[in-house]
């Protein structure tokens, strides 16, 4: 199924990791690969919005997705250009609509996400209008996706210290993004969806990281009805998911998972004898 991936990790890209020498627990010399971090400054038209620490791939998607998930790009905005300057590590997103977010930038709240995760104070207000589709979710899809994603070549398997997020349709992974922060990986997917005009109604978001309030808010704001992780939950993340009707599934390992919100979407069709893993 992984052959359907439109975008996938490139562990062999020399720009994303660096060789470092050290010693192990026995005092023996070891050479390993470690993930790079680079600053990326994002502009919306003439206004500087944020500088994010990122591994540096797909900067245009990251910029557009970040702005979309922060509510600075509207669903009907016409993006006229996205310019990336590698030398100064800057992305400028240009729109037909004139923008000014000076006041909004003053009230941002830092969250528990890795790196520069932020949620602006009025994002919670934006959730009031969110209506997620009642797209069914088969348990057989969950088990298939978990097996495919956990065994797929990735930067995480190559160097660690990184998070992944995968946009899926039924049991097919479509877009796999990685970054030092799970929110960056989700933003890259949001940017890809906006620039490609991809719908959200029939999608599943799979992440390797925790199901925090920020992950729940971003997934819901993108219009995706299901969020899945092999990791755990935060209480606020679960509370928000229940408020907006987002299906959240965590601790997805082997034959086990736990659903703490939106269980009405689940269809229990999996043949557990065929599911790989313990449990």
Same domain, yes or no, for 191 and 95? no
**What per-residue confidence (pLDDT) applies to 126?**
67
**What per-residue confidence (pLDDT) applies to 195?**
96
**What per-residue confidence (pLDDT) applies to 157?**
63
**For residues 219 and 210, what is the distance between their CA atoms, to the nearest angstrom?**
13
Asked if residue 51 has pLDDT above 80, the reply is yes
**For residues 252 and 52, what is the distance between their CA atoms, to the nearest angstrom?**
29
* Phi, psi (rounded to 5 degrees) for 191: -65, -45
Query: Is 54 a member of any domain?
Result: yes
Query: Is 87 a member of any domain?
Result: yes
Query: Is 248 a member of any domain?
Result: yes
**What per-residue confidence (pLDDT) applies to 125?**
65
Same domain, yes or no, for 111 and 153? no
Query: Is 261 a member of any domain?
Result: yes
Asked if residue 119 has pLDDT above 60, the reply is no
For 262, half-sphere exposure in the C-beta direction (CA atoms, 13 angstrom radius) is 30
Query: Is 2 a member of any domain?
Result: no
Same domain, yes or no, for 169 and 78? no
**What per-residue confidence (pLDDT) applies to 76?**
93
Same domain, yes or no, for 148 and 90? no
pLDDT digits (tens, 9 = 90+) for 173-200: 999 999 988 889 999 999 999 999 999 9
Mean pLDDT computed over 206-225: 92
Task: Categorize the per-residue pLDDT at 123 as very low, low, confident or very high, splitting at 50, 70 and 90.
Answer: low
Same domain, yes or no, for 159 and 72? no
Same domain, yes or no, for 165 and 263? yes
Query: Is 245 a member of any domain?
Result: yes
For all residues of the chain together, what is the average pLDDT?
Answer: 87
**For residues 40 and 61, what is the distance between their CA atoms, to the nearest angstrom?**
12
Mean pLDDT computed over 132-138: 96
Nearest to 123 by CA among 208, 221, 33: 221
Same domain, yes or no, for 143 and 110? no
Same domain, yes or no, for 155 and 269? yes
**For residues 108 and 273, what is the distance between their CA atoms, to the nearest angstrom?**
48
Task: Categorize the per-residue pLDDT at 124 as very low, low, confident or very high, splitting at 50, 70 and 90.
Answer: low
Helix H, strand E, coil C: the string for 117-162 is CEEECCHHHHHHHCCCCCCCEEHHHHHHHHHHHHCCCCHHHHHCCC
Query: Is 24 a member of any domain?
Result: no
**What per-residue confidence (pLDDT) applies to 116?**
45
Domain count, the chain: 2
* DSSP 8-class letter at 233: B
Asked if residue 128 has pLDDT above 90, the reply is no
Mean pLDDT computed over 40-67: 94
Between 128 and 268, the higher pLDDT residue: 268
Asked if residue 163 has pLDDT above 70, the reply is yes
**For residues 145 and 242, what is the distance between their CA atoms, to the nearest angstrom?**
24
Q: How far is CA 252 from the centre of its chain?
A: 17
Same domain, yes or no, for 180 and 238? yes
**What per-residue confidence (pLDDT) applies to 71?**
87
Alpha helix stretches (DSSP H) within the chain: 59-69, 102-106, 123-126, 139-150, 155-159, 182-196, 213-221, 235-244
CATH number at residue 74: 3.10.20.10
Same domain, yes or no, for 87 and 206? no
Residue 177 domain boundaries? 137-274
CB 211 within 8 A of CB 190: no
Query: Is 279 a member of any domain?
Result: no
**What per-residue confidence (pLDDT) applies to 209?**
86
**For residues 110 and 116, what is the distance between their CA atoms, to the nearest angstrom?**
8
Asked if residue 268 has pLDDT above 90, the reply is yes
Mean pLDDT computed over 85-92: 96
Asked if residue 74 has pLDDT above 60, the reply is yes
């Amino acid at each position: 199924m992984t052959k359907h991936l439109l975008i996938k990790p490139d562990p062999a890209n020399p720009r994303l990791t660096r060789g470092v020498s050290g010693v192990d627990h026995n005092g023996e010399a070891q050479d390993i690969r470690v993930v790079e971090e680079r600053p990326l400054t994002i502009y919306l038209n003439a206004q500087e919005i944020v500088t994010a620490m990122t591994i540096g791939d797909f900067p245009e998607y990251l910029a557009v997705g970040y702005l979309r998930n922060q509510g600075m790009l509207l669903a009907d905005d016409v993006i006229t250009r996205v310019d990336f300057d590698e030398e100064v590590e800057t992305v400028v997103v240009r729109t037909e609509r004139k923008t000014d977010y000076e006041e909004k930038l003053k009230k941002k709240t830092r969250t528990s996400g890795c790196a520069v995760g932020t949620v602006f104070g009025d994002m919670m207000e934006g959730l009031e209008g969110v209506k997620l589709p009642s797209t069914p979710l088969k348990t057989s899809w969950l088990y298939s996706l978990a097996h495919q994603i956990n065994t797929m070549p990735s930067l995480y398997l190559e160097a660690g210290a990184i998070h992944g997020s995968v946009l899926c349709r039924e049991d097919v992974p479509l877009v796999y993004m990685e970054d030092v922060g799970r929110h960056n990986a989700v933003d890259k997917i949001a940017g890809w969806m906006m620039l490609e005009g991809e719908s959200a109604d029939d999608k599943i978001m799979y992440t390797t990281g925790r199901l925090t309030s920020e992950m729940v808010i971003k997934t819901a704001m993108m219009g995706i009805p299901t969020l899945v992780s092999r990791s755990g939950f935060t209480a606020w993340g679960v509370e928000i998911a229940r408020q907006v009707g987002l299906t959240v599934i965590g601790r997805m390992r082997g034959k086990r998972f736990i659903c703490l919100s939106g269980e009405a979407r689940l269809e229990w069709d999996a043949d557990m004898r065929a599911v790989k893993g313990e449990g």
